[in-house]
Structure 1
Amino acid sequence: MLHESSSALGETERTDGLPLRSSPGGGLKVCLVGPPTVTDFEDPEVAESEAIRLIAEHAPIGVLSLAAVLEQCGAAPQIVDLNRLYYSYLRAPGETASKTDFCSYVAAELDQLAFDVLGFSSICSSYPLTIRIAEQMKRRRPGVPIIFGGPQASVVDVPTMKAYPFVDVVVRGEAEETLPALIAAIASGATPSGIHGITYRDGGRIVRAPNAAVIADLDAIPLPAFHLYPELRDCHYVPLELGRGCPFACSFCSTNDFFRRKFRLKSPETVIAQMRLVRDTYGITTFDLIHDMFTVDRKRVMAFCEAVIATGEQFYWNCSARTDCIDEEMIATMARAGCKAIFFGIETGSARLQTIVKKNIDLAEAATRIEATDRHQITTAVSLITGFPDETMDDLRDTVHFFVDSLRFDFAEPQLHILAPLAETPLESHHRKELVFDDILSDMSHQGWRQDPVDREMIQSHVDIFPNFYSIPTPKLDRAYLRELRDFLLNGSVRFRWLLVALHQDSGDVTQAFEAFRRWYAADPDRGPRPDLQESRYYASKTFCDDFIAFVRDDYAPRLARTPRVLHSILDYERALLAETPPPTEVTAEDQDISDITLVPKLTDGVVLTECAADYQRIIRCLRRKGDLRRIPRRPATIATRQHADKRLDVVMLSPLSAQLLKLCDGARTVSDIAGRLTPTNRTISAIPAEKVCMFGLEVLRQQGLIALHRDLAAKAG
């Protein structure tokens, strides 16, 4: 899929061969507006969640890259990040938010700035909002040229300009050379007729100039103008562009159209120099290295990794790759060079569909690569898509099975999206006349739970501009079922990962467990309809967690399961993780000398003990290797969960001795009392004095932070 590229405003190039520095900007003040993504989440609680903020609060690399080029050309750019502005809007006093919609809020904020040209970056999910903001700004500043660019505007340029006369120019494709030429033309009052890569108005006509050539030398593009983005110091990571272009031709993907399949990479020296400069200036050492297909050229990937290793400096980075363009040696080298995460676009777990959508990945090889990245502790996003027009129930099951099998690896994070027909992709073009507006939205392009009513009217009036909000019919699959299954799997994998794996392994197909859950829910007339099911909110709620645990405990395990003891053990564990545990308070122990047998051990605040019907760790090992769960013996075990003040949760599988000791640490018994009640757990321990065993065991538990020692208040009073 297409990342927000380093030229998200609309990136193209001039074909007259002029170098980047040669176009004077005439001192024009140019305001570049980055595309919003977090605006899809109208619920402040969701938008403010850590997961969403990590995605949204990053530097808008596209407009920052263009700003750097414009500065070289003599223009005066400024940056507006609509994600940051959205958070300001959400946090504004209630009266402000209730009287003003976000579009008007943005327009009022932009109207306070001084600029001669206004440029909007675009992505498909927020394109209606971008258009509405532009319309308001044209009313407020009728003499200011409005320029669109980026992935969405580039492919729907003509219909956009026909429908919305306030859009003056669309810059198509890569913009680092096209935009400076356009700004120079505006500054001089000249017509843009000689500039390739733009669509513009000439009187009453819309003129679409020829495409500009892609930029061959990416090293010539300067470091993005991070100095124009003061919030950078608050970011967890910094995006930097590795290269552009993908040589493959997947039927659903827009990357090959935007970059026209011309694969290019920046040199290792350039990327490392930029990483070093960001670290030295902003103190950030983690980077999202942007390129849809970085690992296509193995030799250059290895050269980059070896160059990073040779510096002796510590950088951490993420990238994208195809599983058939990476191997064990490359993964190991990438890990040594600081790679912490890889995005794998698997797309479908069906070998049949792999051919149809022209992805052509070997799925067994893909699973091997995911296992290798897990072994090297590289987090792997395993991206899957459902809702292809040719998809059958068997294809869907294959994809779901790949999703669940990926959960067996600790560092794998599977995703499941519903297909979005992205504008001008081969798949969208082929099915353009069949598109339906059914409100079963994809999240491939960040669409949220619902659109603004004004956006909906725009979308329904212009399918040619907003096809990603539509659906391609799936004759052999119920799309409402697809959406509900997706929500079940995504939320279930976050909240009880190993329970999903166990259900899949127990039943042979987790979709059967899902369907059994739906029947169980519907069978109780007192339970009522699942709230907000049509908006996907039920599966994101705590209510779903409680319901699903009750279903497995009360219905599936006793009635349908082949290995109920295993499921009960995992349930006990998952319930311990989900329990609302109070955070620890500051503990002041009067004496930490464990040899003082008058001390009173007590569980640390935030520690909870949970009994399991079988050895949880053995169950997990069995699930990892797809072993026979029926061979797990009945052996009760105890786990301790410990909540930290920062909400981190530690989970400790206790030995029989540790479990016995912790159960005796009730805050009333002294070390001496506990030693007197201790029962030997094996022959070796039985040969050692109970008091010595007790002291050793308690000291281990104290070092693990599970207990604290206090003076016996009764003895102290005596």
Structure 2
Amino acid sequence: MMKVGLISSLHLNHGGMSLHTRPGDPMPMQTFVPVGLLSLKASADTAGVPADINVVEVNRLLVDGTIPNTDALYDDIAASVLAAGDSLVGLMTDADSLSHTVLIGQAVKRRSPDTLVCLGGPAVTPISAEFLERFPWADFIVRGEGELTFSELLSTLHAGGDPADVRGVTYRRKGESVVNSDRPLVKDMADLPWPAYYAFDMTTDANLYLDVGRGCPFKCSFCATAPFWERRFRMRPIDDIVRQMEYVRDAFGRTSVNFSHDIFTCDRNWTHRFCDEMIARDVGVTWGCSTRTDVIDAELLQKMGAAGCEEIYYGIESGSPKMQRWIKKNLDLEQCLKVVKATKAAGVRPVAGFIVGYPTETRETLNDTLTRFFQFLQEGEGRSQLFTLVPLHQSPMFRQYEKTLNRPAEYYDAPVTESRMAQIQQYRREHKDLFCTDYRFASPDINEALIDAAEELSGHVVVLASLWPQLLAHYDSPLAWFERWVAWIERYNDQHSPGTRYRHQCEPRDLLVFAQEEIARLGIEDSPVAALVRYEMMRLDAANLPAPGPRPAASTVGPESALRPGDFLGAEFPYDLQELLRGETVRAASDGGAYVVTRKSAADKIETIQLGRAARTFLERADGRRTARELIAEAFPESTAERDPQRTLDHGLGLIRSLAGMGLLLECPAGAKALESPPGAKALDGPAPTRTPARPAPANGTGTPPRPGPQALDAPVRVPRKKAEAR
């Protein structure tokens, strides 16, 4: 029996990267259930192939530190995934990490020269012959849809047969690459077995993408999906999908999944039937999917929401009608906006994706896309993404513009050590045609720095989603803001990060420092947008606060308890912060100002709380010496206390206990030393424009409920914040 190891590709978690990440730092990777590899194993097992197949998810080994990030990284990966006597190792490939896969493959061959190395996936399918010619350590490439091809290849090798008879395989014979005839796609996906979930630790938090269908019938010129699947659209049977969801729920406790299909609602009647089945069986598993805005409607959205759909990704691709026609996407952008609104109305999160950097991009088309990006960011409540165009071998556009690939992309790469990165960069220079996704097309009609600066920008913009409607109103266009930003970040990085590969990339704090300078330039220091920038800076600063320790029960706080402030940041704002964050017409805060504090919750999230006058007094005057009774006397007018002293004491004590329950006030142990400088209640004037190596505030906001009804002046109100979740 053959022994076979299947290895996942590296998937970087871009949200875990920053300009402070250094070569050799721990690797922030995305962990996922390798459904594609598990499908290969299931197909081979079902067919009775005499092979013992082991599936390894490398990203998990990197995240948990099993494999350290050293000069020996790729050798350590090879050592971790190779089992004694392995006959063949299969490497999954994708465009973003192909160069890393090359180094893993080399390490496998060095460690075990007799082990055959096979690659598969969309990154190597269109370049299979060239790849084998350049990299002699690779023995086979499984092209296209892999289940049947891989099973037949294993059976052939086990029997000592000739791989020339296996359709869909590229192999080497006498030093020359041989490309066998293509294998037809599977006609009925019901013929494919379920992925071998039994061969993977499904109880982890790894993302699960169910293989519910394949293919796309559309003709977008920048995309490789339709050519890879020969423009054929296929779905698994509805009952098959639902039973898989029930299975992962019952066997592994999975109550949320994603569907790995580009256009889930391509057949609207099929989608209606699927939703009907989900509702009738009360599956209890939420799901997310992707689709186009022109193959969905409000009626279907309502049913999808009722059937457990939580999120839909819409590939809008360009905000320019001219570019929509040029890339053959042909979406009606106003209709796209209506669909996003209808998605929200159905209780489903909409995520809109846009692309810049097309070879024919102009200032006009870029401005149109930026305008729509910010519009959809607001309408989608902080859920919009901006990407740069990635050259893909099988896309129609690639053949026409391949020769214009003229500069390396500025997207974040895994922070391998300097020596390993030098090796990767050398491969990318020597084999630009193979590693084309690491480069960008020339855009001769526009300053290419504008494209480079968009590489990693949207994740930071989304974190600050509430800021843009207020700030962009002071510019002639989003492009006018963006051009000023790009020139600023170039100068800033040249000064603070000289020699960086990411000259146009940033941190959220950089955007706020730039906004502060722009606010001064525009003369709007007393405007609502200035207050928003100050608030967002305070949230970033709150990420540096210590994690809260155990809190005593608030009920233990009595009138004679000495109190001190907890760890938080506080500032007064001239506007009602809740109205600012909701984008409403703002009014001056009651009583001359709104006092706002930010603190870190036990779940390591940043919470924002708007406090009234009495609560502010408690926080500002608590010093470890004053008792609750004394603080109450200082917070309420004498006339109020004289009229009903017991009611005033009870009311004040209730408020103090509420603040203690949130960790904003802490009870001092008897005999504890008073504080010379309380840590909380500090007004913030904004830091100097220098980077601090602090983790940005979490993008998912406070997690607090919608704004409550009218409150007493002295009652704390948690400020709801639009979620900024990126897909």
State the TM-score, normalized to the length of structure 1: 0.82
Letter paired with 2:12: V
Matched ranges for 1:17-416 at <5 A: 27-38=1-12, 52-53=28-29, 56-74=30-48, 75-87=51-63, 92=68, 98=70, 100-203=71-174, 205-230=176-201, 232-409=202-379, 411-416=381-386
| Cα distance in 2 between the residues matched to 1:87 and 1:257 | 34
Partner deviation per Cα, 1:626-650 (whole Å, 9 max, x = no partner):
x6x7x77895212232322331222
Q: CA deviation at 1:45?
A: 5.8
Matched ranges for 1:279-678 at <5 A: 279-409=249-379, 411-436=381-406, 438-441=407-410, 452-494=421-463, 496-516=464-484, 529-531=495-497, 534-536=500-502, 539-541=505-507, 545=509, 547-553=510-516, 555-561=517-523, 564-579=526-541, 580-588=544-552, 592=556, 597-599=559-561, 603=565, 605-622=566-583, 636-656=593-613, 658-659=615-616, 662-663=619-620, 668-678=625-635
| Cα distance in 1 between the residues matched to 2:273 and 2:27 | 33
Pair 1:702 & 2:657 matched: yes
| Cα distance in 2 between the residues matched to 1:128 and 1:244 | 26
Partner deviation per Cα, 1:62-87 (whole Å, 9 max, x = no partner):
11110111111233211122323434
Letter paired with 1:620: L
| Cα distance in 2 between the residues matched to 1:145 and 1:373 | 49
| Cα distance in 1 between the residues matched to 2:230 and 2:494 | 52
**Aligned Cα RMSD in Å?**
3.7
| Cα distance in 1 between the residues matched to 2:350 and 2:221 | 23
| Cα distance in 2 between the residues matched to 1:565 and 1:670 | 39
Q: CA deviation at 1:183?
A: 1.6
Letter paired with 1:568: A
Unaligned runs of 5+ in 2: 672-727
Give SS of 1:177's match: helix
C-alpha change, 1:548 and 1:293, in structure 2 (3 Å) is closer
Q: CA deviation at 1:712?
A: 10
Q: CA deviation at 1:90?
A: 7.2
| Cα distance in 2 between the residues matched to 1:409 and 1:357 | 25
CA contact (8 A) 1:506 1:562 kept: no
Letter paired with 1:80: V
Give SS of 1:247's match: coil
C-alpha change, 1:412 and 1:265, in structure 2 (3 Å) is farther
Give SS of 1:294's match: coil
Q: CA deviation at 1:57?
A: 1.2
Letter paired with 2:353: S
Equivalent pairs, count = 661
CA contact (8 A) 1:404 1:504 kept: no
Letter paired with 2:126: V
Q: CA deviation at 1:576?
A: 2.3
CA contact (8 A) 2:133 2:176 kept: no
Q: CA deviation at 1:356?
A: 0.7
Q: CA deviation at 1:392?
A: 0.8
Q: CA deviation at 1:531?
A: 0.8
CA contact (8 A) 2:285 2:308 kept: yes
State the TM-score, normalized to the length of structure 2: 0.81
C-alpha change, 1:589 and 1:289, in structure 2 (3 Å) is closer
Letter paired with 1:217: D
| Cα distance in 2 between the residues matched to 1:154 and 1:523 | 42
C-alpha change, 1:134 and 1:515, in structure 2 (3 Å) is closer
Q: CA deviation at 1:49?
A: 11
Letter paired with 2:336: A
| Cα distance in 2 between the residues matched to 1:390 and 1:307 | 45
Give SS of 1:588's match: coil
| Cα distance in 2 between the residues matched to 1:310 and 1:70 | 34
Letter paired with 2:357: G
Give SS of 2:203's match: helix
Q: CA deviation at 1:210?
A: 2.6
CA contact (8 A) 1:148 1:171 kept: yes
Partner residue, 1:20: none
CA contact (8 A) 1:618 1:632 kept: no
Letter paired with 1:276: E
| Cα distance in 1 between the residues matched to 2:217 and 2:138 | 32
Give SS of 1:295's match: coil
Letter paired with 2:575: A
| Cα distance in 2 between the residues matched to 1:217 and 1:415 | 34
CA contact (8 A) 1:319 1:341 kept: yes
Give SS of 2:182's match: coil
Partner residue, 1:24: none
Partner deviation per Cα, 1:83-138 (whole Å, 9 max, x = no partner):
2343466754xxxx65x432222333344433222222211222223233333434
Q: CA deviation at 1:692?
A: 3.0
Letter paired with 1:574: E
| Cα distance in 1 between the residues matched to 2:405 and 2:213 | 34
Q: CA deviation at 1:432?
A: 1.9
Q: CA deviation at 1:156?
A: 0.8
Q: CA deviation at 1:242?
A: 1.1
Unaligned runs of 5+ in 1: 1-26
| Cα distance in 2 between the residues matched to 1:77 and 1:564 | 66
C-alpha change, 1:575 and 1:617, in structure 2 (3 Å) is same
Letter paired with 1:57: T
| Cα distance in 2 between the residues matched to 1:582 and 1:369 | 42
Q: CA deviation at 1:538?
A: 7.7
Letter paired with 1:504: L
Partner residue, 1:21: none
| Cα distance in 2 between the residues matched to 1:380 and 1:58 | 22
C-alpha change, 1:501 and 1:488, in structure 2 (3 Å) is farther
Q: CA deviation at 1:186?
A: 1.3
Letter paired with 1:108: A
